Structure 1
């Protein structure tokens, strides 16, 4: 099969007009999603007048809403091309026999039967197209246009993904508390989970022990729906659209434990080192200024654990929300640990405000991973931000919706069986959903509770045992970042005559998994996104093309 040629049209001139008026164009996140799956595509800053027909699929991520756009896209489709849109293309509705319905701000979409996911997915914005029969219209319309077709989602998928992961507006006020009293987020402290976009009643389930948790990584599920649809669009044209696996072939499921040093008592650290040694894993230690004693830091590093930063912006604990405080505290931790290459941070008490400030600070001060986006209360454990996968966040309109050079690795819960927090009954459901989503099962345990409470120590051990039994491999956040950077440096440039992917890389990457849709009778065929694919594993050196 020939590899599909995909173009992503994000019209820069139109976007500049939106940014000039302070309007977000989260269609910009379309490319980031495709890059994360290793989907080969070309970025189009303007319509490719001369060679539009050379593309098999064009994703209209952001386009001018005018007659010129309508004419271009219709001509392209009539000539045999496939146009994909996420809630856009108003200019084409009437000409294709539809009328645009009223926007829907929040709802739940049931995907067509061709999609493997049967759970209705929460969305944050939709613009349906209605026909003469009225009604809300389907989630996805496939419209024949000449020899080609329009594939139009009613859902604004990129906006929904961004809104779930980062909120739909900056954090400037307390969030709305859970009606059952399990998550009083309105305590007067601005933090990450003041900006969640999930519903306390509709998006939580309860464990057998009665503990509530956000049950669905909706953002990850929407990404799968989006990418799977593109793979099937190409396949229906007799074309192959290959993609990359998220993890190494020998570590298909990743788990992670992090700690926040908070009180900085050496005896708490020693107890934690002993507990981790019993578990046989390495973890990530987020250190708050002034940290432990130098001997303890040395022992932590010698045991193979990651030394990380725990930025304190909580006023009650003497912290401050400012870049100066972030920089000063980070320098202090670097000095006291003697480790200049700290790459990970988690904010104390998940303290956060605004939109992109924290990510800008991380970029400027060489912090590559942030872990701040997680629950601060018992009742919002699980997937409060709709994701368990590492992802790169997007900036607000004031920075032209650029992608930050920071990897966000959120966490699902902290300090199980501690009393205030949730109990171990959430472990099984979280692991199961994380495994299906191919994310990171990231649990936070504070050293003080590991030291003082045998129940927390047992809970951590049980989590490790349960994760291992489910095939999870434990990494630190630094390891996850190094893998992510190596994997993202790899690119599928084409397919050989016998269907093998041609891969280049800017960094060496071992055990890279590639999935290639195929029609061939191959013993290694597996279904991915409802399409037969062959799995190939590569170890790629730095190539000239990728250097």
Structure 2
């Protein structure tokens, strides 16, 4: 099998023009989606580079709206290349027999199962095309995008597929990278209260700026209710868009008789991960003792987020001795004597290090999901050595679940003032907190959450407070139920630090080739054991394979388990940075 070579175009001139005018280039995030999926790729910043490199696939993240700037893309397709664009290529619309109708606001995309998932996918912005002429090349129209509502007015096809010469040009109406960013991080910085739910279950307009004030979900269209009438955000739209994008890419590759090996999400033997984090509010020593006992009973390790003034000193060695992680719980809540600001963040972190005797703290979660602006928190984490954050989650009973569209760990993106670089902080958001607490959701959401996370192979992160575990038998029951139901479904419990260290390690592995005997060639920045590598198998070669195949991203693949050692020659390294320090791959 021949391995496809994938290039990603992010036109430098177009990006700089936007940044110079204070506009975001969230199309950069295409690289983060590919990197998390373990897909090998190379960046290019000018279409003229297409003639210098032997790519098989070109993904168009950002192009210039000039005829001359897209002509090389057309020629690439004519020669047999695969081109996939996400809301761009407007300068080619006329040549393809279409007209660009301009951007439209949020809505829902309906896709057939062979391209995506059965449920309509929420998008935040799209640029549909309208057929204008029969003189263009032959094409197929797949799916539909609808305005505002899943049954709203149809705005056109979700995906257009054109046959151009010996190759193809596929053009999505939705800018998938921009939609994923908006779902995960919001459409704009948090500077005021968000809009509450009309039914009173999500009063996020409480005068305190929080992560969920910036959510991009719809209270009416994106929630379901359990058998106890508990509402929850049910749909991991950002994760589904990732599945759609990667599955479409892989299918196009194997249709051409090529393969594109990629690195699996988790080590061999693990399909999905569960996580328990604990916020130490009120810092009652007895609550720590009770929580240690419950976790020991079930053999679960957790991440303990400590808020000032913390427990008595004798508690910390016990927490660490039992394999738990001690993490930071930054307090910026004014009525709890906290303050938003880097100096205060640093002061509290130094307190935690002194109190615990640790020189490094890996993870943080903000008290009450306190959050404002766009990237301040992530910059502080970078500056002060916090590698992972867990702040993005619900603060109210009625917005539990996938309110940020994802259960996967990801690196967040900065605003235009930092040229949309990726922060070196892994975000691991949570689904809910303190199930069965009288003011919060009950445990009827546990199974729906676990089933959805299992579907997309992510992280089922449940937050509890030690004081509620200690004082409320119903919360203890809910914690036991989470552990029981998760283990029944094959989840493995990890701490936040374990998740972060694994994700960072697996991302240093790069697929660089495949030999005739099917051996995958890898380079790695770290020693990584039990790594899963998936090898997509082209249609005509599947019956020749004696190995068991599975279907990650809906594509038949051979599963290989390898252990890799750190290599000096990281052939992808030269492609990882440009234009203001964008962090790639």
Common fold: TM-score over 0.5 = yes
Call closer, same or farther: CA 1:521–1:295 in 2, change over 3 Å.
Answer: same
Question: Which residue of 410, 425, 428 maps to 1:409?
Answer: 428
Does structure 2 retain, via aligned residues, the 8 Å contact 1:192–1:373?
yes
After alignment, is 165-174 or 273-282 more displaced?
273-282
RMSD: 1.4
Summarize deviations over 1:32-79 as a string: whole Å, max 9, x none: 111111111111122244635721111111111111123121111111
Query: Would you say 1:522 and 2:546 are equivalent positions?
Result: yes
Give the stretch that moved more between structures: 389-398 or 76-85: 76-85
Match of 2:373 among 344, 354, 362: 354
Distance 1:50 1:291 in 2: 57
Matched, 1:264 2:283: yes
8 Å Cα contact 1:112/1:140 also seen in 2: no
* Aligned residue runs from structure 1 range 144-293, under 5 A: 144-293=163-312
Q: Bigger CA drift: 62-71 or 88-97? A: 62-71
Distance 1:415-1:263 versus aligned 2 partners, 3 A rule = same
Distance 1:361 1:25, change over 3 A: same
Partners of 1:357 and 1:103 lie apart in 2 by: 30
Q: Distance in 1 between matches of 2:54 and 2:570?
A: 24
Tell which deviates more after alignment, 338-347 or 107-116: 107-116
Do residues 428 (structure 1) and 447 (structure 2) align? yes
Unaligned runs of 5+ in 1: none
Following the alignment from structure 2 to structure 1, what is the Cα–Cα distance between the partners of residues 262 and 159?
A: 23
Query: SS where residue 136 of structure 1 aligns?
Result: strand
**SS of the residue 2:534 aligns to:** strand
SS of aligned partner of 2:332 = coil
Counterpart in the other structure of 2:84? 84
Shift of 1:254: 0.5
Task: Determine the C-alpha separation between the residues in 2 that align with 1:53 and 1:67.
Answer: 22
Match of 1:35 in 2: 35
Show the counterpart of 2:346.
Answer: 327
Match of 1:59 in 2: 59
- In structure 2, what is the equivalent of residue 314 of structure 1? 333
- 8 Å Cα contact 2:362-2:388 kept in structure 1: yes
Asked if the contact 2:116/2:240 (under 8 Å) is kept, the reply is: no
CA contact (8 A) 1:249 1:512 kept: yes
Q: Give, in whole Å, the separation in 2 of the partners of 1:147 and 1:465.
A: 54
One of 554, 557, 567 as aligned partner of 1:533 = 557
- CA drift of 1:502 comes to 0.7
Q: Distance in 1 between matches of 2:50 and 2:273?
A: 45
Provide closer, same or farther for how the CA distance between residues 122 and 116 of structure 1 changes in structure 2, counting only shifts above 3 A: closer
Distance 2:454 2:553 in 1: 16
Query: Counterpart of 1:495?
Result: 514
Map 1:427-446 onto structure 2 (within 5 A): 427-446=446-465
Report the Cα distance in structure 2 between the residues aligned to 1:363 and 1:75, rounded to whole angstroms: 43
Check the 8 A contact 2:509/2:522 in 1, yes or no: yes
1:19 is aligned to 19
* Counterpart residue number, 2:568: 544
Distance 1:418-1:113 versus aligned 2 partners, 3 A rule: closer
In the alignment, the residues of structure 2 paired with residue 476 and residue 70 of structure 1 have an alpha-carbon distance, to the nearest angstrom, of 47
**C-alpha spacing 1:177/1:535, structure 2 compared with 1 (3 Å):** same
* SS of residue paired to 1:248: coil
Contact 1:52/1:76 (8 A) holds in 2: no
1:23 aligned counterpart, secondary structure: coil
Would the aligned equivalents of 1:116 and 1:529 in 2 still touch at CA under 8 Å?
Answer: no
Which residue does the alignment assign to 2:145?
Answer: none
CA offsets 1:250-282 (integer angstroms, 9 cap, x no match)? 222100000111111111111111111112111
**Alpha-carbon distance in 1 for matches of 2:104, 2:60:** 20
Decide whether the 8 Å contact of 1:506 with 1:542 is kept in 2: yes
Question: Following TM superposition, by how much is the alpha carbon of 1:172 offset from its aligned partner in structure 2, in angstroms?
Answer: 0.4
Q: Specify the alignment match of 1:481 in structure 2.
A: 500
Residues 203 and 215 in structure 1, CA contact (< 8 A), matched pair in contact too: yes
Alignment partners' CA distance in 2, 1:433 and 1:298: 36
Q: Secondary structure at the match of 1:94?
A: coil
Deviation at 1:93, TM superposition (A): 0.6
Range with bigger deviation, 191-200 or 259-268 = 259-268
Following superposition, the deviation at residue 529 of structure 1 comes to 2.9
Question: Secondary structure at 1:54's aligned position in 2?
Answer: coil
SS at match of 2:266: coil
CA offset at residue 116 of structure 1? 4.8
The corresponding residue for 2:578 is none
Deviation of 1:311 after TM superposition, in Å, equals 0.2
Residues 403-448 of structure 1, C-alpha deviations (whole Å, 9 max, x = no match): 1100000000000111101001000000000011111100011011
| Structure 2: unaligned runs, 5 residues or longer | 134-152, 572-585
TM-score (structure 2 length as normaliser): 0.92
Of stretches 38-47 and 360-369 in structure 1, the one that deviates more from structure 2 is 38-47
Say which SS state the counterpart of residue 501 (structure 2) adopts. Answer: helix
Matching of residues 361-372 of structure 1 within 5 Å = 361-372=380-391
Conserved 8 A contact 2:505-2:525: yes
- Is the contact made by 1:232 and 1:529 (CA closer than 8 Å) also made in structure 2? no
Residues 418, 49 of structure 1: alpha-carbon distance in 2 compared, 3 angstrom cutoff: closer
Give secondary structure in 2 for the equivalent of 1:313.
coil
Number of aligned residue pairs: 547
Corresponding residue for residue 157 of structure 2: 138
Task: Describe the SS at the equivalent of 1:489.
Answer: coil
Q: Aligned equivalents of 1:362 and 1:49: distance in 2?
A: 37
Residue number in structure 2 paired with 1:6: 6
**Cα contact 2:346–2:384 (8 A) shared by 1:** yes
Contact kept, 8 Å, 2:47 with 2:73, in 1: the verdict is no
